[in-house]
Structure 1
Amino acid sequence: MCENQDGTFNATSTCDNLRGKVNVTQPYTIQATVTHRRLKEPVCKEWTSDLQDGYKLRPIVTRPLQLSLCDPGEVLCSLNLESFYPKHIDISWSCDTGQSQKDISSQEKYQENPDQSYNAESVCKIPGDSLKEPAFKVIVRWKHETMEDWESRELCVRDPGFPWRPNITDMSPLIIAQNQQATVKCTVSGYFPDVLTVMWFMKNARQETIPVSNGSKYEIPEISREKMSDNTYTCTSTLCFTPTSNSEEQEFICRVSHPSLEEPIEWSTGPARTKVSPTVTEPIKFSLCESGDVLCSLYVSKFYPKNINITWTSGKDQINKIKAVEKFIQTGDEKTYDAISECRIKWDQSLFPLRVTWKHESMEKPEYKELGITDFPWRPVLGEIEIGALDHGTESKLQCKISGYFPDALTVTWLKKEKERNEWVNVKYDPRYKIPALQHEKQQDHTYSCTTRLDFTPSYESDDGAVFICRVKHPSLKGAIERRTEPLHVTASRFTKAMSYMFV
């Protein structure tokens, strides 16, 4: 809408989306209607589709060029073009090495959409080794009759969308121990192709960065590479040396180069240390034993020296100590240690909260993790309430399966609300309803399951339109959980219904 100098207005209305609103195989008409208070009646204008040109839609690119790794060492390139009509479209692939360009064969798959438009997926394969050159590009071009010229997308290893850049995922700390060889390791993962350069540097007390090479002073074994299940690579580079009197003032840097990186990435060991504090990143884990005991475990990683104190205590005052066992793990020639501390408990509500505390000489004060009774993972799961045949005067039942809980300290309550009443009533106190005792069944995973049942003889007068709730409480729950029925429909004879109305 725009205003003219004489105070009148011009308006332009655009309708540019016919997807799903027309059948492209049939002629169609578009009508625009204009109303205004100065018009005696609406003004209409119509456009009819051209039977020769028909309905046309330009292809849409909704996501960038996709790359995926194949076995053996090939890269699958794919492009998706969506919602175009008519079906014919030209798609071509090529690779550019910076010095020459070469066409690549491709395959296309087409899919028809509900609005009669089409999607196309075009794929081609290129050798993985071609990505070792940073200048290498893969290019896809397409042309459709709705387009004035060709459009294209391209991707090279330096583009932001390249998925397999290396990441330094782990660096062991630099630990200096008297008369012991020091070893640091740098782990790099997630990269492709398998052409990676790792260099080591030493930073001294004057903050000078000095290259480190394999020789009499430093030993750098050949890098060990591993191909992963997703066809990317992981490698570990190791640096070994014998500390001297000034080694405590040093730190080492691992620098990684790859064709996909504009600049190398690096990670430092940080200053040399004689002690390394333990790391605890995972919560306390639980598992059920066949005996009914609960096995609790805590994983403590990357500490030095080996001596560590891990204790388990229970109860409100944490004065009850629980016997535990520690398993120590050391990987290869790394100096740091990992430990798994395990204890067994017989389930008892008075044990909670349960606490595990660890203390190491590198720490200023002890740290701990604590869990309450509701942190247990074995909470009951309720199935739907199954309803038997509801015939007036004939025995029936409601039942609900409960599974996955531990311990078997389960409380089940059945509640009822009659039609046109607001209060919920516990049927335990109504002699017309019977609730058999729960039978807990132990499962292969050592949790329990049971089926709770409500036996009764439906009455048209009191049960038709009634709603029932199965409510469950368990120590692992902060509150009750429940399932409820829809209003019941009790089948009754005409005579029974008539008598019910007379009674009302």
Structure 2
Amino acid sequence: MTLRLSDTGEVVCSVTLDTFYPGYLHIEWKCGGEKSTEVLSSQELYEESPDQTSFSVCSQVRISEDSLRCPESAVHISWEHEYTNTRGQQTRSIRDQDFPWRPVVDDLQAPPCMYHAVPAILQCHISGYYPDAVTLKWFRKNKRTLELCEETDDASIPKIKSTKNADNTFSCTAQLMITPAVKSHQGAEYICQVEHPSLEKAVKKSAGGIKMLAKPQLEPIGKTLLDGMLVQFSLHLHSFYPKDMKVKWHRGEQEHRKGVKQGTKHTETFTEQEDSLFYMISECCILGYGFTDPEYKLYVTWEHEAMEGPETRTLCVRDLPWSPCVDEIFVLRLEDQLRSCMMCCITGYFPDKLSVSWYKMENGVTSPVQDSEDIATKIEPHKRKNMTFGCTAVLHFTPDAKKDQGSEFICRVEHPSLEHPIERSSGPLCILRQGEEE
């Protein structure tokens, strides 16, 4: 019995019988289970041999696709030659090993590794099958359990749609869309199971255990002042997997060994989170005096399997949170020819490298203040508070009502942490003549 697919989607079954005489056979075709009694309509073409001593016949029947959708489906032909009392039969079952349209199941395609909370797609291509009656199931196998995959918040199974091929067989691609998590998916194995009426046993394909990765997330780098003029830097990385992490701290010198990077000691602390991801703190302590140089830099580099490559952050004095806080200028009572002063309080800075300049603006012209008999400037340091530095910039002078009235004094503060100087103005001076009340 030969089988072929027609363009109309039917199976054409043919049997050729020969060498019988006289030229008639009683032929019956049936399709279905063993107990099927329905006789199918068939076509027979008889031919007589050239020597007119025997006949042959080709019998053909068309079987609908729906008739082959169950595993018990079979096509049965029987024949009888009444003149010689000869009988015969033949059966082809959809479960026969040589059934020509059993599904071909490709290897399961999956990413070599999956990332925590990042959607991923697993897919399996199935081709060359007939009838269009494949059933697909997805399973997830953990260490001890095998569970059927269903639609959930982190898994989606698109509906399968078969496409017809040029040879009238069918193809489809099974997909499973998941959003994996390290805790539940590390090492898990997904299995695509393909069932078809022509298969005695389902075909199963697996990509092996899943390798999970989670890219480290960076928090703002912490900076803390410690005793002994030390600055502690803390690199916080969270939500990464696996645990292995490479961190390097190094500082760059800018003087006689320009460009040299010196490794710096540091410590790491790892914590495993409830979701099986890891949290790490890397701490490095260095002497703060290096930051008196605006070009001085500290580098931290970290590298992890889930990253495309190492990442580096560069830290300089302008990344420190201890820029000077400059108050408004406080001006004492000013009387003509009587010694007075004004002061500007500056706090909260580190390192201790502060520059204060005074300027005088009169008639729209600004000029630096020079110490003289009438003017004297000084810096009065504060006691350290919260590990930072502070001072008060003081300007002593003897006001002259004739030339100083309406002029302004400006206090300019510079520090390595500042991109631009901070300026505070006294505002126009109001100088009282002796005996004059405000």
Q: What interval of TM-score do these two structures reach, taking the shorter chain for normalisation?
A: 0.5 to 0.7
TM norm structure 2: 0.53
Q: Tell me the distance in 2 between the aligned counterparts of 1:23 and 1:192.
A: 58
**Counterpart for residue 271 of structure 2:** 111
Length, aligned pairs only: 258
How many angstroms does 1:217 deviate by? Answer: 2.3
Q: Contact 2:115 / 2:214 at 8 angstroms: preserved in 1?
A: no
Question: CA RMSD of the aligned region, Å?
Answer: 3.5
Q: 1:154 aligns with which of 314, 325, 350?
A: 314
**Counterpart for residue 266 of structure 1:** 423
- 1:48 paired with 2:48, answer no
**Counterpart for residue 291 of structure 2:** 131
**Counterpart for residue 33 of structure 1:** 157
- Aligned partner letter, 2:364: Q
Aligned to 1:259, what secondary structure does the other structure show?
coil
- Superposed CA deviations along residues 473-497 of structure 1, whole A, max 9, x for unmatched, are xxxxxxxxxxxxxxxxxxxxxxxxx
Q: Percent identity?
A: 30
Q: 2:302 aligns with which of 129, 142, 146?
A: 142
- Aligned partner letter, 2:253: T
Aligned to 1:69, what secondary structure does the other structure show?
strand
Aligned to 2:396, what secondary structure does the other structure show?
strand
**Counterpart for residue 330 of structure 2:** 172
Q: Tell me the distance in 1 between the aligned counterparts of 2:142 and 2:395.
A: 68
Q: Tell me the distance in 1 between the aligned counterparts of 2:209 and 2:158.
A: 29
- Superposed CA deviations along residues 236-267 of structure 1, whole A, max 9, x for unmatched, are 01111111122213210101111111221110
- Aligned partner letter, 1:122: S
- 238 and 86 in structure 1: CA distance in 2 versus 1, 3 angstrom threshold: same
> 1:294-443 counterparts in 2 under 5 A?
none
**Counterpart for residue 199 of structure 1:** 357
Aligned to 1:154, what secondary structure does the other structure show?
strand
**Counterpart for residue 84 of structure 1:** 240
How many angstroms does 1:96 deviate by? Answer: 1.4
- Aligned partner letter, 2:374: K
Which structure shows the bigger proportion of residues in strand conformation? 2
Q: 1:243 aligns with which of 396, 399, 411?
A: 399
Aligned to 1:72, what secondary structure does the other structure show?
helix
**Counterpart for residue 34 of structure 2:** none
How many angstroms does 1:84 deviate by? Answer: 0.8
Q: Contact 1:143 / 1:149 at 8 angstroms: preserved in 2?
A: yes
- 208 and 51 in structure 1: CA distance in 2 versus 1, 3 angstrom threshold: same
How many angstroms does 1:27 deviate by? Answer: 9.3
**Counterpart for residue 376 of structure 2:** 219
How many angstroms does 1:271 deviate by? Answer: 0.5
> 1:436-455 counterparts in 2 under 5 A?
none
- 1:120 paired with 2:280, answer yes
Aligned to 1:148, what secondary structure does the other structure show?
coil
Aligned to 1:246, what secondary structure does the other structure show?
helix
- Aligned partner letter, 2:392: T
Aligned to 1:210, what secondary structure does the other structure show?
strand
Aligned to 1:130, what secondary structure does the other structure show?
helix
Q: Tell me the distance in 1 between the aligned counterparts of 2:223 and 2:330.
A: 33
- Superposed CA deviations along residues 12-55 of structure 1, whole A, max 9, x for unmatched, are xx996549xx999999997541138999x996548936767632
Q: Tell me the distance in 1 between the aligned counterparts of 2:272 and 2:298.
A: 28
Q: Tell me the distance in 1 between the aligned counterparts of 2:278 and 2:226.
A: 27
TM norm structure 1: 0.46
Q: Contact 2:250 / 2:300 at 8 angstroms: preserved in 1?
A: yes
Aligned to 2:405, what secondary structure does the other structure show?
helix
- Aligned partner letter, 1:186: C
Q: Tell me the distance in 2 between the aligned counterparts of 1:194 and 1:25.
A: 60
**Counterpart for residue 251 of structure 2:** 95
Q: 1:189 aligns with which of 334, 347, 351?
A: 347
Q: Contact 1:203 / 1:252 at 8 angstroms: preserved in 2?
A: yes
- Aligned partner letter, 1:111: T
- Superposed CA deviations along residues 259-285 of structure 1, whole A, max 9, x for unmatched, are 11122111010001258xxxxxxxxxx
- 118 and 227 in structure 1: CA distance in 2 versus 1, 3 angstrom threshold: farther
- 1:74 paired with 2:230, answer yes
Q: Tell me the distance in 2 between the aligned counterparts of 1:247 and 1:219.
A: 16
- 1:256 paired with 2:380, answer no
Q: Contact 1:23 / 1:115 at 8 angstroms: preserved in 2?
A: no
Q: Tell me the distance in 1 between the aligned counterparts of 2:276 and 2:331.
A: 61
Q: Tell me the distance in 2 between the aligned counterparts of 1:24 and 1:219.
A: 81
- 213 and 171 in structure 1: CA distance in 2 versus 1, 3 angstrom threshold: same
Gap runs ≥5 in structure 1 = 1-13, 276-304, 306-360, 363-504
Aligned to 2:331, what secondary structure does the other structure show?
coil
- Aligned partner letter, 2:271: Q
Gap runs ≥5 in structure 2 = 1-110, 119-139, 150-154, 164-171, 178-187, 191-206
- 248 and 179 in structure 1: CA distance in 2 versus 1, 3 angstrom threshold: same
> 1:419-498 counterparts in 2 under 5 A?
none
Q: Tell me the distance in 1 between the aligned counterparts of 2:431 and 2:419.
A: 36
- 249 and 150 in structure 1: CA distance in 2 versus 1, 3 angstrom threshold: same
Q: Tell me the distance in 2 between the aligned counterparts of 1:138 and 1:77.
A: 10
How many angstroms does 1:132 deviate by? Answer: 0.3
- 55 and 208 in structure 1: CA distance in 2 versus 1, 3 angstrom threshold: same
- Aligned partner letter, 2:158: V
- Superposed CA deviations along residues 154-192 of structure 1, whole A, max 9, x for unmatched, are 11113xx43011121231136421342121001111110
- Aligned partner letter, 2:297: K
**Counterpart for residue 352 of structure 1:** none
Structure 1 consecutive aligned stretches of length 4 or more whose deviation exceeds 4 Å: 14-17, 22-31, 36-39, 41-44, 49-53
How many angstroms does 1:215 deviate by? Answer: 2.4
**Counterpart for residue 370 of structure 1:** none
- 227 and 74 in structure 1: CA distance in 2 versus 1, 3 angstrom threshold: farther
